[in-house]
Amino acid sequence: PLDTLDAHHQLHFMLHQSNRRSEEAFQGCMRLLEQLGEDVPDNFENTSAPPFARIRHVLEKKSEEEILAIQDLNDENDLRRIRFLSQACIISSTALRPRMTAYCIARMVEISLKGFSVYTPYAFVALGTFLCGQRINAISEAQRIGKIALRLFNERFSDPGQLPLFNLAYYGFVSVRFESFQTCATHLRQASTVAFSTGNIFLAIINNAQSINKSFFAGKPLPSISEDIKRQIELTVKYKDSRCVNYARFWNQTLQSLMHGEAGNSSLPEDRHLDGSLPADRHLDATASMMDTFHKAVQTFWKGHHKRFIFLMGQSTSNQQGNAMADIPKLMSIINNFYHSLVACALVKASSKVSEMRRVIAHVREDLKELASESPQNYENKKQLLEAEIYSCRNETHNGLLRK
């Protein structure tokens, strides 16, 4: 039967992905899609941009109820296409191939507009993730599409097998702009548990990592987060997920720094994996470098090393150039920009880099106003703290310096 054959192919691709053989897994998906009649580009880097403008226009013209009224997809071939396009989308996004990911998202949504299937909620939420990325930054549009996807998942296609992937995209990257961090963390933990129960270790580990990220910014007590990280370390070592090993190491070092004062207290040497083995390639990939810089910046901020923090922020900007993950709305970037504005206020008070710091403060101030209006439970306190620091600047020797 086709379902059994497709399940076999999907398991095969998942195993490749879990073993860090993403390119083989992706090419396998592409070959299968070609056999299904999909017009797969020969070279994703040179292909024309996916038809997002047309897709967005179609969705914009339809009301939420009109979209939800779209009938089920009955074409067996299209059902198989969207199934493997969703698999290819997961692989390409984790392998940091932005054009591949964009192509897969566009095609999933195009097929979904012909008829809905169990894969449609993920197609829509993946589009939402793309829309609220830093290059497009269409937050209200992404929120609308994301909430439609949530309704589809909860009311029409509540498939436990799709929950880990859906929650990862929705609570990991879209709803973080309007849901509380703790709500997001709770749903990501649930997704991790479900993924383990269905044998999808890769999604279990990724959801757990995102849950730790959201819990940290939600203000969960550090000792409790430290226990979460220890469990994540055990999982990444057991299942030999070298990328998430690095991510867990970064979080462990940050927690050690905040709890004990020195990242050096970590039992994870800079050039070794969590199991003590040396990595095959000592150079971190682009996303790992971004995360490494983020964690160093967090540690530096809380130690009060302002000039070092400014240097790391410059490195962070450099690391994001040309990186696929820079298109994803990263909570880390929002938080680091918030820290940057507080450091800028401190440097203004010290008469250091005044004009440059004024620009930083003004930019982050506007961002926080927008974020606080969308999600006051996450950002109103940060907006008020920055306003207090600006007021403090005005009342010192630089009176009126930051006045609009």
15 torsion bin: left (phi>0), alpha (psi -120 to 50), beta (else): alpha
Arithmetic mean of pLDDT, 269-298: 60
pLDDT digits (tens, 9 = 90+) for 188-218: 999 999 999 988 888 899 999 999 999 999 9
What pLDDT shows up at residue 165?
Answer: 92
Whether 325 shows a pLDDT value over 50: the answer reads no
Whether 324 shows a pLDDT value over 90: the answer reads no
Phi, psi of 320, deg, nearest 5: -80, -20
**Residues 100, 129, 13, 246, CA torsion sign:** positive
Q: Which helix H or strand E contains 298, and what residues bound it?
A: helix 286-303
Count CB atoms within 10 A of the CB of residue 327.
19
The chain-wide mean pLDDT, for the chain, equals 81
Whether 276 shows a pLDDT value over 50: the answer reads no
4: CB partners within 8 A, 6+ apart: none
What pLDDT shows up at residue 269?
Answer: 41
Closest by Cα among 198, 189, 197 to 225: 189
What pLDDT shows up at residue 216?
Answer: 93
Cβ–Cβ < 8 Å for 341, 360: yes
How is residue 312 written in tokens? Answer: 């790391």
How is residue 59 written in tokens? Answer: 């969705």
Cβ–Cβ < 8 Å for 63, 57: no
Whether 155 shows a pLDDT value over 80: the answer reads yes
Q: What percent of the chain has pLDDT over 70?
A: 78
pLDDT confidence of 402, banded at 50, 70, 90?
Answer: very low
23 torsion bin: left (phi>0), alpha (psi -120 to 50), beta (else): alpha
pLDDT digits (tens, 9 = 90+) for 50-95: 678 889 999 999 999 999 999 999 999 999 999 889 888 888 776 5
3-state secondary structure of 72: strand
What pLDDT shows up at residue 403?
Answer: 47
pLDDT digits (tens, 9 = 90+) for 3-42: 544 554 555 555 545 545 667 777 788 888 888 888 888 7
Cβ–Cβ < 8 Å for 187, 171: yes
Q: Which helix H or strand E contains 200, and what residues bound it?
A: none
Kindly tell me the number of DSSP H helices and DSSP E strands found in the chain. 18, 0
Largest CA distance in the chain: 77
* Dist. CA 249–CA 169, nearest whole Å: 23
pLDDT digits (tens, 9 = 90+) for 350-376: 876 788 888 999 999 999 999 999 899
Whether 166 shows a pLDDT value over 90: the answer reads yes
pLDDT digits (tens, 9 = 90+) for 223-234: 999 999 999 999
What pLDDT shows up at residue 100?
Answer: 81
* Dist. CA 337–CA 343, nearest whole Å: 10
How is residue 292 written in tokens? Answer: 């490494």
Residue with the bigger pLDDT between 396 and 314: it is 314
* Dist. CA 353–CA 11, nearest whole Å: 55
What pLDDT shows up at residue 24?
Answer: 76
Amino acid at 129: T
